[in-house]
Structure 1
Amino acid sequence: MTGNCPSFAGATRATSRATFKTGSLPAVDSRGRERRGLGQPMSGSDDHLAYYTRQGPFTDPAEYAQLFDGLPAEIPALCRVVQGLVIHFLWAKSYGVEVTEARRPEMEIRPVSRKLEHLAARDPRPLDVAREPRARMLGTCRDFSVMLCGMLRHRGIPARVRCGFATYFQADHYEDHWIVQYWRPGERRWVMVDAQLDALQRDQLHVDFDTTDLPTGRFLPAGRAWRMCRDGEADPEKFGILGMSGRWFVRGNVVRDLLALNKLEVSPWDTWRQAARDDDEITDAGLALCDRIASVTHANDVDLAEARALYETIEDVHLPPWLK
């Protein structure tokens, strides 16, 4: 679940209006869908797994890598470590924490390395020592996800962040949300993990399933949500957060998910990408392009070669200067 920083709405629209250039794309039908079968496993190759084992610019702990040494190996325990470091600003009141304007800049810290720098400066104890809620770093679901993803990659576990929508925050609503997938070799599948939901949140949301192995349908990759809206299976106005919803919102998350699959887990309110227009109208060409992105990214299992090739066709997607 993401948040409502002052520039969130504008940045989401900017993302949804990202411009693209044409290129060689997978064979698709009239709605941009791949002609191969849905859910066909294609992501277990050595090259694919090696790619997601290596850190990206946002998940790399860099000079703070030693802080990840000695952390628990079990996924539930790692999630508890993350939950002891980060607090979602929309849930802060439930923990007795006030979100002041002075603390909002914490949510602007994107890379894991800088998050670790911030945390270590406030409390030098090992990361597996849970901080008091008021001492945790303010963030969103994206921040829980990149932290867990960085920890898993540090241990040599293939992991990636996904952007999409969750069904367990509100009834009859698809909430803007980010989760982590990691590769479980014994079962040859990507397991979905919600690193944000601790015992308090699970209790308040009446969650009755394992959030470290999300059941099918509890989280929808943005490409799947887009196809549901396009096919009339769901109302686009039910996808969003904090009063922001609609097809433009879903389209923004489709772009974010493609970037995340390419290890660029941008913040929901980043505005450094170029926008094509000043309004939210999506042209026929824009619809067709988003259909094509969704054809590659709609499943839990995504073909890396296709995601990489599609990413290379996006125009003006560059790392912001502070990451170069």
Structure 2
Amino acid sequence: MSTSPTAVVDHTAHTRYSDPGPHAALLEALPVDPPGLSAVARNVIVHYRSEGLDLPAVTSEDINLRWIERMLATDQERHGTPLTEPRAETARLQGCCRDHTLLCVATLRTHGVPARSRIGYAGYFHRNWFADHVVVEAWLEGRWRRFDPEIGAGFEALPVPMDMPTAELGSSGFVTAAQVWVGHRAGAVDADRYGVDPVNLLLRGERYVFDEVIYEIAHRFGDELLLWDGWGRIGIPGTPVTDEDAAWMDEIAALLLAADAGDLDAEARLLERYRTDAGLHPGTEIVQASPHGDPPVTVSIL
């Protein structure tokens, strides 16, 4: 991990996804300590697959609220109160880990704290299974600190969710998508143990990990897209990764791991690749799929 907040992009600056627009005051009123901020994120957003909750169908499209400005506008249309005021679980925005993280990242940036979302896999939700996940990485107390805003309290597999150590492959911690890709290509991990959940036979494996690395890079450089958006070399779930694509991804993942280690030259080269390679950059339109099974649609992200 880098020992400096210096990077080739300014992680205190809002992206078009994290910019709260006219709702900045809502974020200015929030705490920036991970436990306090995470509690607010859970108060505003409920996971759309939360067990034991009968979430209203009328709000199911909340999951496609791509911009924090629109998320905050929708929350205020329903509640019209500060984000710290309690919301009934079934009245919260329906979202996922990406949305909990984006709310935290947007708040931290509003307060001038460098922050970004990190995409990878968590080994702490299921035994011997690694679920795709998004967590916050913020420059706090002189170091990059990862925390999982979805988790309210520590447990055996994740004792300190508000300050997660850099994890090794195969551990119960959080590892980045690039780590998993490199480990898969080296034969160190079984990619079929990385995906949405243990019962989904399609959203897992080499193709899924390949696509997740593209998401990871997009989020790093300010395109904090939905986890079911598609563009560039992101493929249809379950389709094989070609030898050409795998070799291409080997170069990309190596640059990403070097950037994580503090190599600014590698990060600058990765940013240049991201901006110029149509396989990485989303351009002006993406294909939005749906975790609810709705037909894919083409969406402008201008």
TM class by smaller structure: 0.7 to 0.9
Match of 1:211 in 2: 161
Partners of 2:8 and 2:108 lie apart in 1 by: 13
1:139 aligned residue = 95
Name the counterpart of 2:288.
none
In the aligned structure 1, how far is the partner of 2:57 from the partner of 2:29? 35
Identity level (%)? 26
Maintained 8 Å contact 1:83/1:144:
yes
Give the one of 203, 216, 228 matched to 2:183: 228
**Any unmatched runs of 5+ in structure 1?**
1-38
Q: Which residue matches 2:296?
A: none
CA–CA distance in structure 1, aligned partners of residues 252 and 8 of structure 2: 21
Whether the 8 Å CA contact 2:34–2:149 is kept in 1: the answer is no
Partner of 2:291: none
State the SS of the aligned residue for 1:138.
Answer: strand
C-alpha distance in structure 2 between counterparts of 1:132 and 1:198, whole Å: 17
Paired residue for 1:191?
Answer: 145
1:238 to 193, 197, 208: 193
- Given residue 107 of structure 2, which amino acid in structure 1 is its aligned partner? M
Give the partner amino acid of 1:190: W
Aligned residue runs from structure 1 range 66-81, under 5 A: 66-81=25-40
Is the Cα–Cα contact under 8 Å of residues 27 and 110 in structure 2 kept in the other structure?
yes
* Distance in 2 (alpha carbons) for counterparts of 1:224 and 1:163: 11
Distance in 2 of aligned mates of 1:54 and 1:75:
19
Alignment of 1:31-70 (within 5 A): 41=2, 44-45=5-6, 48=7, 51-70=10-29
Higher-RCO chain (CA-CA 8 Å, sequence separation at least 6): 1
- Alpha-carbon contact 1:261-1:307 (below 8 Å) kept: no
> What do residues 243-302 of structure 1 show as CA deviations (whole Å, max 9, x unaligned)?
12110000010000010111111111124x255877722222211111111112236446
Indicate conservation of the 8 Å contact 2:28/2:107, yes or no.
Answer: no
**Displacement, 1:322?**
4.6
CA distance in 1, matches of 2:284, 2:162: 31
Q: Which amino acid aligns with 2:101?
A: S
Distance 1:65 1:222 in 2: 31
Aligned position for 2:225: 266
Which letter does structure 1 place at the counterpart of 2:132?
A: D
In 1, Cα distance between equivalents of 2:137 and 2:232: 29
Indicate the residue corresponding to 1:180 in structure 2.
Answer: 136
**Alpha carbons 1:165, 1:176 under 8 Å: kept:** yes
Would you say 1:305 and 2:268 are equivalent positions?
yes
Whichever residue aligns with residue 85 of structure 1, its letter is V
CA distance in 2, matches of 1:72, 1:49: 27
Q: Displacement, 1:50?
A: 6.6
State yes or no: 1:101 paired with 2:57.
yes
The separation in 1 between residues aligned to 2:270 and 2:4, in whole angstroms, is 11
Cα 1:277–1:312 change in 2 (3 A) is same
**Distance between the aligned counterparts of 1:297 and 1:260, measured in 2?**
12
* TM-score (norm: length of structure 1): 0.78
Q: Which moved more, 1:144-153 or 1:126-135?
A: 126-135
Structure 1's 50 and 156: CA in aligned 2 closer, same or farther, altered over 3 A? farther
Q: Which moved more, 1:226-235 or 1:297-306?
A: 297-306
Separation of aligned partners in 2, 1:277 and 1:75: 35
Distance, in Å, in 2 between the alignment partners of 1:70 and 1:49 is 29
Distance of 2:224 and 2:82 partners within structure 1: 25
Q: Secondary structure at the match of 2:124?
A: coil
Match of 1:250 among 209, 212, 237: 209
The residue identity in structure 2 corresponding to 1:210 is V
Q: Hey, what's the Cα distance between the residues in 2 that align with 1:75 and 1:275? A: 34
Residue 66 of structure 1: how far off its partner (Å) = 1.3
State the secondary structure of the residue aligned to 1:128: coil
2:10 alignment partner, SS class: helix
1:115 paired with 2:76, answer no
Partner of 1:153: 109
Q: CA deviation at 1:55?
A: 0.5
Distance 2:9 2:255 in 1: 20
Query: Is the 1:59–1:149 Cα contact (8 Å) retained in structure 2?
Result: yes
Q: Provide the rounded CA distance (Å) in 2 between the counterparts of 1:269 and 1:208.
A: 27
CA positional deviation for 1:313 = 3.1
- The 8 Å contact of residues 63 and 95 in structure 2, kept in 1 or not, is answered as yes
1:167 maps to: 123
CA root-mean-square deviation: 2.2
Q: Decide whether the 8 Å contact of 1:61 with 1:113 is kept in 2.
A: yes
Residue 307 of structure 1 and its aligned partner are, at CA, apart by: 3.1
Query: Does the CA-based 8 Å contact 1:239-1:245 persist in structure 2?
Result: yes
